[in-house]
């Protein structure tokens, strides 16, 4: 069920995926043009070398392992390879007068969709310099008149406009995307993460702990007597109690710890790099912070208290789901022990 509820935001975060697909589309379009040109490959054998080199380069870039933080630069490198490929093909097929020249627009649109305005404008400038070089190589730089330069710039103006408009739209999309992601991964009542937001972050923290041979602990925190508060003072008072506990829980833990509302009156905290001894200390700190801070609802004082269960990787499980389940079981064991102790004392 967790997998169905989780949104794969990574599909939006990797621009190299889109650029990689466009690279093959560019190859197909160039091959189609060369095939329709009949004898061009026979008279220009260097084009075969360009095509083979481009194919090998694309394969290396796509299947090489890149760290997540390098995704942007991977996409930039992909786009530079496309620009170089098109430039070499144009140089071997007659310069900028061929229909292949319009394929630069495909590179510009792809860059605008994935790499941002600054990078895209730099690439448009690079393409403009290449085209000016190809134009001067054909006619000679001295043969170009001011009118030729004016026409050249006029031809480039729509490309700059396309780059600007698309990056503006994409920027608006990313702002909306961040808002949607925040709404999808945040609990409305408490402002904490919900479980959809917690799982991918917790999985990443656990993977890092596995890689560094470190420990990780999970706290399951349950608000005691929430039902009694709801029955006596109403659900609005219950909501106040939930928000109060959520705030104290968040403030009691480190900023690197993950805190989420599990549902109802339960919360989950994931503590990276924390063994059992330190997890016990963290749980005690949470209990003291919550139980030592009464609140008022509908004119009555509420003395909040919580029960906390703890689990630790790797002793109690090797997956986040297992650790949460074990912490939940431990929390109910704590509740049962307190109930038995209260009955014996009574």
pTM of this prediction exceeds 0.75: no
| pLDDT for 165 beyond 80 | yes
| Both tokens assigned to 188 | 């409305």
Q: What is the mean pLDDT of the chain?
A: 85
> In the chain, which residue ranges form alpha helices assigned H by DSSP?
2-5, 10-13, 15-36, 40-43, 46-63, 71-93, 104-114, 117-139, 146-185, 195-211, 226-233, 235-252, 276-291, 320-345
pLDDT exceeds cutoff 60 at 13: no
Q: How does DSSP assign 76-105, residue by residue?
A: HHHHHHHHHHHHHHHHHHTGGGSGGGGGHH
Domains of the chain: 2-183 (no CATH), 195-345 (3.30.70.270)
Check whether the bond before 314 is cis (ω within 30° of 0): yes
The mean-pLDDT minimum among 121-130, 147-156, 194-203 falls in 147-156
pLDDT at position 342:
73
Q: What are phi and psi of 65, to 5 degrees?
A: -80, 125
pLDDT over 70 percentage in the chain? 90
């Amino acid at each position: 069920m967790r997998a169905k509820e989780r949104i794969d935001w990574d599909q939006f975060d990797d621009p190299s995926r889109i650029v990689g697909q466009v690279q093959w589309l560019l190859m197909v379009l160039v091959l189609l043009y060369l095939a329709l040109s009949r004898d061009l490959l026979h008279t220009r054998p260097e084009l075969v070398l360009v095509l083979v080199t481009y194919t090998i380069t694309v394969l290396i870039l796509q299947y090489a392992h890149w760290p997540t933080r390098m995704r942007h630069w991977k996409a930039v490198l992909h786009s530079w390879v496309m620009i170089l490929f098109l430039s070499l093909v144009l140089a071997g097929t007659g310069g900028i007068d061929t229909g292949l020249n319009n394929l630069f627009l495909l590179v510009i649109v792809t860059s605008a969709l994935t790499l941002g305005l600054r990078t895209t404008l730099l690439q448009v400038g690079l393409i403009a310099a290449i085209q000016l070089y190809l134009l001067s190589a054909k006619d000679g730089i001295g043969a170009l008149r001011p009118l030729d330069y004016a026409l050249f710039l006029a031809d480039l103006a729509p490309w700059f406009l396309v780059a600007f408009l698309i990056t503006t739209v994409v920027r608006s999309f990313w702002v909306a995307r961040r808002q949607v992601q925040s709404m999808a991964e945040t609990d409305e009542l408490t402002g904490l993460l919900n479980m959809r937001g917690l799982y991918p972050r917790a999985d990443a923290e656990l993977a890092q702990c596995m890689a560094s041979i470190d420990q990780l602990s999970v706290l399951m925190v349950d608000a005691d007597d929430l039902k009694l508060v709801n029955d006596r003072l109403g659900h609005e008072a219950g909501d106040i109690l939930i928000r109060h506990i959520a705030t104290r829980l968040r403030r009691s833990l480190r900023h690197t710890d993950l805190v989420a509302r599990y549902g109802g009156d339960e919360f989950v905290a994931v503590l990276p790099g924390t063994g059992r001894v330190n997890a016990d200390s963290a749980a005690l700190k949470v209990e003291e912070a919550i139980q030592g801070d009464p609140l008022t609802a509908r004119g009555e004082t509420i003395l909040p208290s919580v029960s906390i269960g703890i689990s630790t990787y790797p002793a109690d499980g090797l997956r986040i789901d297992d650790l949460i389940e074990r912490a939940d079981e431990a929390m109910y064991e704590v509740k049962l022990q307190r109930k038995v102790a209260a009955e014996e004392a009574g």
